[in-house]
Every structure is written in structure tokens, then in C-alpha cells.
Amino acid sequence: MSSAEFRAHGRQVVDWIADYLETIETRPVRAQVAPGDIAAQLPGHPPEQPEPFAAVLADLDRIVLPGITHWQHPRHFAYFPANSSGPAILGELLSAGLGVQGMLWITSPACTELETVVVDWLAELMDLPARFRSAGAGGGVIQDSASSANLVALLAALQRASAGAVTAGGIQRRHTVYVSSQTHSSMEKAARIAGVGADNVRVVGVDPVTQAMDPTHLRRLIEADVEAGALPTMVCATVGTTATTAIDPVGEIGPVCREFGIWLHVDAAYAGVAAICSELRWINDGVAGYADSYCTDPHKWLLTNFDCTAFWVADRAELTGALSVLPEYLRNQASESGTVLDYRDWQVPLGRRFRALKLWAVIRWYGAAGLRSHIRGHVGLAQEFASWVAADPRFEIVTPHPLSLVCFRPLWTELPVDAANQATMSLLEELNASGELFLTHCSMNGVVALRLAIGAPSTEHRHVEQAWRAIQAALPPT
Amino acid sequence: MSSAEFRAHGRQVVDWIADYLETIETRPVRAQVAPGDIAAQLPGHPPEQPEPFAAVLADLDRIVLPGITHWQHPRHFAYFPANSSGPAILGELLSAGLGVQGMLWITSPACTELETVVVDWLAELMDLPARFRSAGAGGGVIQDSASSANLVALLAALQRASAGAVTAGGIQRRHTVYVSSQTHSSMEKAARIAGVGADNVRVVGVDPVTQAMDPTHLRRLIEADVEAGALPTMVCATVGTTATTAIDPVGEIGPVCREFGIWLHVDAAYAGVAAICSELRWINDGVAGYADSYCTDPHKWLLTNFDCTAFWVADRAELTGALSVLPEYLRNQASESGTVLDYRDWQVPLGRRFRALKLWAVIRWYGAAGLRSHIRGHVGLAQEFASWVAADPRFEIVTPHPLSLVCFRPLWTELPVDAANQATMSLLEELNASGELFLTHCSMNGVVALRLAIGAPSTEHRHVEQAWRAIQAALPPT
């Protein structure tokens, strides 16, 4: 593609995106297609001859868009949000345009150094402890996802617990990992990947109301494992669980970890970024005193396109000890000088994009003030939505909702619990099939509830109102 | 950022990239900065108030660019290339603009279905065996890197070898993995991550001339491990090693794997895509008969921006058996129907970008004919470069060079080997410090050689000539 063609098609794509986002509200939120519908419209074989770029754009409209579930839609309330924003999109574009590999410092020093600085900035905005900043023995890095961050945290924990024996000889004894029943499934996935095994993931009970991890139960499980000869290796505490945004009591979990010499990782994938608002900083209570590692996702709720997980570790040597392998073809003077960071040793892949550009662009475009306002707007909308639910006697709110997720359900007062759960799931499917809004569900103490997660940058008061009206209207008349 | 602002700044960024690529040749290839130079120019604290986008672009020019090692530079001959192209950049931009999460089919059906189709297309272009296509029990997926592909291949191998016991109970016996001395370091990294351990990675010897894995030695190592009670679990054969593009004899390794029931993974990260040219298809000899999994990187040599590793598996159930964890909040009717693929179960992370868009745009823009011409051009340039080296009595070519990498060295006829190696490394540093070109090195049979890897889309005949003149001129006068 010539430079002139790139300029022309680049303008078309920029306009295509602007048009898409301007009109996104007119589309059904969840794709209205059946399995195979999209594939059936695509050619079975690759083209032999070149096609014009206009053909790609035409098929994007005709074939791809009907198969898109619109995460940037203002009435996308499912899962957690996947934030996007103008500066992040353009930061991603700049990264693609530069096309550099940041695996080693030497392979593009700015790719590493800008990342270090920007992740330090984010730590400062969230008031994370000094030991997570790059000036000392710790530091931060951008991972592709919290799943990967949880995995590398576990690898560092195994490295520490085994004094390096796992890295050399593999898993040679039973290491146990502690999660709550509400911890994200990626932690079990990490335990599988790391060779710890799903059966060695202990599930700590939670408080039935708050859904937060029970530190007393955690201690009992650890004691039983020690008694049985296992090596308790990592506790994963969650700040803002996926199902309900429960906040595990890190300040009570931490002393247990310290007593038994267990790595404490804090998964704050969704909620962590809320700590940039001083009034929400309490969600990280205990982190400063006890956490060995911490992650949060600017790609969920901080206006930065996926992928952008910020991961911090208090002692980076434990991480790089697990992950650094140095073949001849990667040796270079800068790495051997010990004065640079080589981020390939902080992650699973070797290669890495220049992801810091998008986070840098986001923080500068919005400023700290704008980022706080973004978070506060959604928290405010969620609290208002919760007040509407609370005021309607046909519904109940099922968990605390300190952030921007509200879990609630129709009471179905005449139905036994199984039938009520079925009725809730049918209601959910009816709402989602309408295309008007997209919700997901959770199950707590045997009761199914609806999750309404506010967080798309485009979501305004009217969209939450529309969603509530649609939910109310879908209830059968009493 | 308003829609109007996005359109305006989007045009600026598109033009910035076009200008950058038009003038890239005027810049030094390798960044000319010292550790800390870039960080020192960045503010120590994040901005409180918003800044204009122009400030980001200005700092990109002033602070970031001097710290960039230009991978798209036509005289970047280091490592392997990291291809970029207009359609790939615009595909990445479209992906960022849509901002969808492709973790489940339901979360954007087109993201999954386009990926399945496009990876099938690539398999067809490369003439990979039918069992890697999605129509049967196997299929392909886009991973972020060959490192991650090698890791998930190992996880699938462990799942099969242990009949699922590893997934449930963790590593419970000694699993061994076989690589050659030339296999990429990511395979040892994968063995560490998976809890197999670096010490259980057996290093098979190579032919001293071709640097290809010795199947006889492989068999001996396997037999010894079986004798010692270990469970040989995976062999990683390489098509196009990192140091010298050696091609392991898959057709001889395969029968050994089959005899002992060992998973055969083929890492063709760099070279695999060359198989789209019929005259180079021999590099995959033996793959059709024996490979359980295979990966290649369109982000290295097929015009598609990082990250885009294509990974295929003959039996996807072994992969998803290792990686699938299904919590309540991800349950949905489509997944439970069994009629869709959920790619989250094929990879380490849960979330995923719409990476198929860029590969789709690349294949359509260039067509199969254009892709072949791209590969053939570089192979031709490399062969011509090799002929120049061969014709200069001061140099020798140290390995076969069937693709677009040439490994060579000054003979330093008067120096003993250690001094010759030092002289080669000094020459390398002098060349790289000049900014005129960027090479890396390898070490074979104790001898250090220079690697000149051709593969940037912008590299023309004159750039290879310039590089050769610079190399010749850097030799001390005889």
C-alpha cells in the first residue's frame, strides 16, 4: 500500500470509526445472528489476486457488523465494560504505525522507558505503595490481561516458595493456592497452566451478604494444608469480584499470608482503577501493608482499549527469576549492564507491542481530573439505578454495590427458588434478544441475579433509564 | 474526545504515520540513546488537567522517536523482521475502533467466525494438512506470539500424556520435553511456566553443518528417559531456527514421536509462512504426516502487525481440556449448544482483541499472488547478498541459507577463535552504533557469526547493497 493510498484509506477508516460510534445506538447491542451465519457469508478460499480496500470496508458493513456485539454501545451493561476512547484508539494506531518490538530495552528503549514511567504514573494516581514503583526493587508492567497477570504472579510466588526449585526442576511437591468462591476463574486457569493443578486450588468461603473472603476460613484451610504436607504458595484476594464487585478484606488476609510466608496477590482487574478517586481509595485498604503483587485493567474501566492490564510487583527479581531465559541471540550490552529493564522477562510472550502509548495518550488527554470524573459518573449512575430498583417492590438488590455494578432480581414472590431462577434467566434472554440492552447474570447462595454493569464511556443517564424501563416492562403483569 | 476531534486527530495520526514511514530511512536504525535518557525527559507525575492531543504528538517527535529502534527501517536486519503494512495497520485501527471482546462466541460472533475462516485460509495458502482446518476435530486460532503458542501446545501435550491428570492434580511425575540446541528459548520458558521445569527439557544435538535436530540422538534421549521412569511428553521441532533458519527433519522426528506416543509440535514462527510459495513448501516436509500442532507468525514475515501468531492443533479437545474453566458468569446458551468455538479456551488470557481483521485485510489487499511475491523478493535478496559474501575472500558463510537470513563472518584468518569472536562482536557493535544498519549475532560450534535477516517490506536491493558496503568498509584494511 503506497503512502498516498495509506493516507486515503486511513482517512476512510477514521471516518468509518467515527460514523460507527456516532450511530452505534441505533444497533442492537447483542448480535442477532445464529452460529455459522457470519462464516457462511465469507469466501471459502483466500483471494488469488489483490482486492481494493473498499471491498474490505464494504464487507465490514455487510457481513461483519451484523455479527458484532457492540461493547461500546451505551446500553452494553454485560460482563464488565471494555473501555475505548479516542486517545486510546489513536495511541493503538500510533503503536501499529511505529511497528516496534519492545521485548528488550535495546529493541526500542522508548517502548520500555515510557511504559515504566506511565505505569508509575498510574500507581501514583491510585496511591499504590512506593514499593510497586520502579525506583526500588519492584515495578510495574503492562500485561495483555489480568489472566496473564494472575499467572505471572503465581509463577513468581512459586519461584519464591520453592527458592527457584520449580523453575529448575518443575513442580515437585504439592503447592496450594487460595481463592474465594468469587475469585475470577483465571486464577484456577493459572494454577492449571503452572502445573499446580485445579485440585490444589482451595476455595475459601465468603460472607453470605458481602461475598467477601472469610479470613478465618482461609486460615483453617492453610493450617489443614500445612498439616497435610502441602506448601501454601499464594493467596489471591480480589478487589471487586466479577460476579458482584465484592471487596476481599486484604487487611485481614494479609497478616495470615505474612504469618505463613504466603505470596499475596491482589486481583483488582475491574475495580482497582476506581482508587484514582480519593473517596473510593478504601477499596485498596490493606494493599499497602501486605500485597506482594497487584493488577488492574485500564482496558476495563479506564478508557484504554484492550489490551492493557497494569501489573505491579514488590520484588521484580522473583518475577524475572521465574521467566528469564537468555539465549545467545538476545544477548546485548545494555541488558548485561544491568541498568535497563527487559520486559520480556516480566511476561509469558517474548514479543510485545508499544502498549504504553495508548495509556500515555489517555492519561494526558483526560488528565487526572478527567479520569476521576469518568469513574464518578458511572458510580453515580449505578447508585441512582440501585435506588430505582430499591423503590420497586417487585425487585430486590442482592448485594452491596459500592462501585458501578448493581446485582438485582425480580422477586417472583409466588415461585419457589428453582422456578424463580428459571424465570430470571428467561427474562434475561428475552431482554438480551431484544437488542435493546445487554445484561449478564450471576448466581449467589443459589439465587440467580441480573448484573447491570455501567462503564461504557458513552453511557448517559437516559440509557440507564431506558434499560430500567425495559426491565420493568419485561416483567409479567401482576 | 468528541467525534469531530477524533476525525481531526485521526487524520493527523494517519499523516504522522505516513510521514514517519516516508522518512524512516533518514533515521539511525538503532536508537542512539543511553539507559534512562527517555525516562529523564518525561514528567515525573501525571498531569492533573487535560492536555491537547497536539502535545502528545509533539512529545512523540521530540522525546519518543529518538528512543525508537526502527523495525520498519529498510536497513533493519536484526533478529527476525516484525512486518507491518498499510492494510494491517488499518485492520488494527478497525479492531481498536470496534472495541469488542472476542472471548466467547456470544461476545461478538463475527470476531470468532472471521478468525476461524481467515486462519483456515492461511492453512490453505500454506497447504497445511486438512486435520488442522476447522471443519474437523482440529482448527486454528490467533495467539499473541509463538511463545504463547508453544506454551499452549505443551499444555495440550501434558493433558494428553497424563489423560487429564495434570489439569486436575498438577504435575505429579517427571514429564520430559525435547528441543534441539537451536530451538527458541520460548520452549524452555514454556516448560518452566507449565511446571515441567528447565531441567526436564532435553537438548538434542544438531548436525554441525545444517544445525538441524539429530533424530538418532533424540531417540537415545527418549529411551534413556523412559528407562529412568520419566514420561516423554513433547518434542518441539523447528522449521527455521532463530539463529540460522535450520530446518529440523520433521519427517524423521515424527516416526520417533509416534512410536513413543509423544506430542509433536512444530515451531515455524519465522519460516512457516514461506510455505505459501510452492517452491519453498518443502520446509514443511513431514508436517502433514506427523505434527500434532504447528505455529507460524504472520507478524514476522507476512505483512501483519504484531501480534498475530497462527496456531493450529489436530485435536482441539486436548487444548480446551487443558484450558477451559467455566464459571457461572460466562455461561450462555450458544456455548452450551456445542455449536460454536469459544477461543478463550484456546489461549492463556480470557479477553481477546479482534485480531483477525488485520490478517483478513492483509490477505485481501495483497492476494495470494502478492504474498508470494513479498516472500520471494526477500529470498531473492538474501541469495544475492550471500553470493556477494561468498565472493569476498575475507568472509565466510557459516550455514545453509535457504530463506532470507544469511549467517556469515569475517574470517580474521590471523586470529585464534576467541579473538576472532571478539573482533566479530566489536565489528557488530561498531556497525550498529553507526545507525546505518542493525544486525544481530549468533554463535555456532563456538564461532560467532553475524546474522543479516531480510524481511522488512521496505527493504529494496539498494538497502542490501548499502549494508554490504558498510560491512565491507568496517573491516580493518588488510
Per DSSP, what are the bridge partners of residue B450? B408, B441
**Which chain A residues contact residue B38 at CB under 8 A?**
109-110, 113-114
- Choose the mutation target among B32, B79, B193 for the interface with A, i.e. most A CBs under 10 Å: B193
Which B positions 188-227 lie with beta carbon below 8 A of chain A? 188-189, 191-200
**A332 backbone φψ class: left, alpha, beta (φ>0; ψ -120 to 50):** beta
Return the C-alpha cell found at A330: 538476545
Look up cell 494428553; give the residue: B160
pLDDT value of residue A478: 66
Burial of A44 from C-beta contacts in 10 A (0-12 / 13-18 / 19+) = exposed
User: Against a cut of 0.90, is the pTM above it?
Assistant: yes
B130 touching chain A per CB within 8 A: no
DSSP letters spanning B267-320: E-TTTGGGGGSGGGGGGGTTHHHH-SEEEE-HHHHSS--SS-EEEEES-HHHHH
Say yes or no: B21 contacts chain A, CB-CB below 8 A.
yes
A97: nearest CA partner in chain B = B17
DSSP for B202-218, please give it. Answer: EEE-B-TTT--B-HHHH
Distance between CA atoms of residues A108 and B353, nearest Å: 24
DSSP label of B126: T
Buried/exposed code over B142-161 (b: 16+ C-beta within 10 A; e: otherwise): bbbbbbbbbbbbbbbbbbbb
**What is the amino acid identity at position A208?**
P
The three three-digit cell numbers of residue A187, written as one number: 486464577
Interface probe with A: pick from B112, B144, B297, most Cβ of A within 10 Å: B144
Task: Give me the residues paired with residue A265 across strands.
Answer: A236, A293
The separation between the first and the last C-alpha atoms of chain A, rounded to the nearest angstrom, is: 63
Strand partners, B358: none
Q: Name, in order, each residue with C-beta under 8 angstroms of B380's C-beta and a sequence gap of 6 or more.
A: none
Burial class (CB in 10 A: 0-12, 13-18, 19+), B400: middle
**C-alpha–C-alpha distance, residues A214 and A223, integer Å:** 15
Residue range B248-289, pLDDT digits in tens: 999 999 999 999 999 999 999 999 999 999 999 999 999 999
- Helix, strand, coil percentages (3-state) for chain A, rounded to 5, are 50, 15, 35
Summarize pLDDT for A270-289 with one digit per residue, the tens: 999 999 999 999 999 999 99
In DSSP terms, which residues pair with A312 in a beta bridge? A140, A294
Does residue A167 carry a pLDDT above 80? Answer: yes
Of B9, B17, B199, the CB nearest to A169: B199
CATH number for the domain whose boundaries are A1-30+69-84+367-478: 3.90.1150.170
Q: Are A367 and B48 in contact (CB under 8 A)?
A: yes
Residue B478 has pLDDT above 80, yes or no: no
**Residues 6+ positions from A435 with CB-CB distance below 8 Å:** A27, A28, A29, A30, A32
Task: Give buried/exposed letters for B105-116 (b at 16+ CB in 10 A, else e).
Answer: bbbbbbbbbbbb
Residue A15 forms contact with B (CB below 8 Å): yes
Cα–Cα distance for residue pair A34/A31, rounded to 1 Å: 9
Topology, domain B101-353: Aspartate Aminotransferase; domain 2 (3.40.640)
Q: Which of B99, B175, B185 sits opposite A84 (nearest CB)?
A: B99
Q: How far apart are the first and last CA of chain B?
A: 63
**Domain ranges, ordered by start, for chain A:** 1-30+69-84+367-478, 101-353
CB pairs under 8 A between A and B: 505
| Alpha helices in A171-315, H assignment, sequence order | 185-193, 215-227, 250-260, 287-290, 298-301
Do B89 and A6 lie within an 8 Å CB cutoff?
Answer: yes
Count other Cβ atoms within 10 Å, centred on residue A294.
29
Residue B476 is given by DSSP the state P
Q: How far apart are CA B427 and CA A51, in angstroms?
A: 45
- C-alpha–C-alpha distance, residues A243 and B417, integer Å: 63
pLDDT, averaged across chain A:
97
**With contact defined as beta carbons under 8 Å apart, do A52 and A12 qualify?**
no
Q: With an 8 Å Cβ cutoff, are A170 and B195 in contact? A: yes
CB contact under 8 A, B349 and A307: yes
B98 Cβ under 8 Å from any chain A Cβ: yes
Smallest CA–CA distance from A62 into chain B, residue: B110
Give, for B256, the enclosing helix (H) or strand (E). Answer: helix B250-260
**Mean pLDDT calculated for residue range A321-326:** 91
CA B189 – CA B197 distance, rounded (Å): 9
Q: What is the pLDDT of residues B413-465, one digit of tens each?
A: 999 999 999 999 999 999 999 999 999 999 998 999 999 999 999 999 999 99
Query: Has residue A312 got a pLDDT over 90?
Result: yes
How wide is the angle at C-alpha A97 spanned by C-alphas A95 and A99, nearest 5°? 70
Query: Nearest to residue A379, comparing CAs of A455, A303, A287, A306?
Result: A455
CB contact at 8 A, A357 and A116: no
Q: Is CATH 3.40.1280.10 what the domain over B1-30+69-85+367-478 is classified as, yes or no?
A: no
Q: Would you call A33 and B109 a contact, using CB atoms and an 8 Å cutoff?
A: yes
The rounded distance, in Å, linking the Cα atoms of B134 and B310 is 13
Read off the pLDDT of residues B52-89 as tens digits, 9 standing for 90 and up.
999 999 999 999 999 999 999 999 999 999 999 999 99
Helix, strand or coil for residue A307? coil
Tell me what percent of the residues of chain A surpass a pLDDT of 70: 100
- Give mean pLDDT, residues B360-381: 98
Instruction: Tell whether the model's pLDDT for residue A336 goes beyond 80.
Output: yes
Instruction: Return phi, psi of residue A397, to 5°.
Output: -90, 135
Average pLDDT over residues B29-51: 97
- Name which of A271, A287, A313 is nearest A155 in CA terms: A313
Q: What is the pLDDT of residues B163-202, one digit of tens each?
A: 999 999 999 999 999 999 999 999 999 999 999 999 999 9
Closest CA to A301 of A461, A128, A458, A83: A83
Residues 367-386 of A with CB under 8 A from B: 367-370
Share of chain B above pLDDT 70, in %: 100
Q: Of chain A residues 229-268, which have a CB less than 8 A from chain B? A: 242-243
E-strand spans in B250-404? 263-267, 293-296, 309-313, 395-397
Q: Which of residues 296-315 of A touch B (CB under 8 A)?
A: 299, 305-307
Asked if A99 lies within 8 A of B306 by C-beta distance, the reply is: yes
Q: Which residues pair with A142 in a beta bridge?
A: A310
Distance from the Cα of residue B257 to its chain's centroid: 24
Count CB-CB contacts under 10 A for residue B43.
Answer: 10
| Portion 155-184 of B in contact with A at CB < 8 A | 155, 158, 166-172, 174-175, 184
Residues 6+ apart with CB under 8 A from A1: A9, A53, B85, B86, B87, B365
Q: In B, residues 396-435, which contact A (CB 8 Å cutoff)?
A: 429
Identify which of B17, B94, B185 has the shortest CB distance to residue A327: B185
Smallest Cα distance from A469 to chain B, Å: 24
Q: Which residues on chain B are in Cβ contact (under 8 Å) with A102? A: none
**Cβ count within 10 A of residue A405:** 28
Residue in B18, B186, B198 nearest the CB of A3? B18
Is residue A400 within 8 A of residue A210, CB to CB? The reply is yes
At A284, the amino acid letter reads N
The span from the CA of A179 to the CA of A184, in Å, is 9
Band (pLDDT 50/70/90 cuts) for residue A338 is confident
**Rounded Cα–Cα distance for residues B455 and A329 (Å):** 17
- State the average pLDDT for chain B: 97
The average pLDDT across B304-310 equals 98
| Cα–Cα distance for residue pair B354/B361, rounded to 1 Å | 12
A390: cell is 430499591
Q: Measure B10 CA to nearest chain A CA, in Å.
A: 6
- Residues B158 and B171: their CA atoms lie apart, in Å, by 9
A70 touches chain B (CB under 8 A): yes
Please state, in angstroms and rounded to a whole number, the distance separating the CA atoms of residues A123 and B392.
Answer: 56
pLDDT digits (tens, 9 = 90+) for B318-367: 999 999 988 887 888 888 888 899 999 999 999 999 999 999 999 999 99
- pLDDT, position B301: 98
Please state the separation of Cα B110 from the chain's center in Å.
Answer: 26
Q: Is B151 on the interface with A (CB under 8 A)?
A: yes
3-class secondary-structure state, position A143? strand
Kind of pairing between the strands at B231-238 and B175-180: parallel
3-state DSSP call for residue A428?
helix
Query: What's the CA gap between B188 and A345, in Å, rounded?
Result: 13
Give the whole-angstrom CA distance, residue A357 versus residue A341. 18
Min distance A174 CA to chain B CA atoms (Å):
8
Q: Rounded to the nearest 10 degrees, what angle do helices A86-98 and B3-23 cross at?
A: 10
DSSP structure class, residue A477: P
A101 or A326: which leads in pLDDT: A101
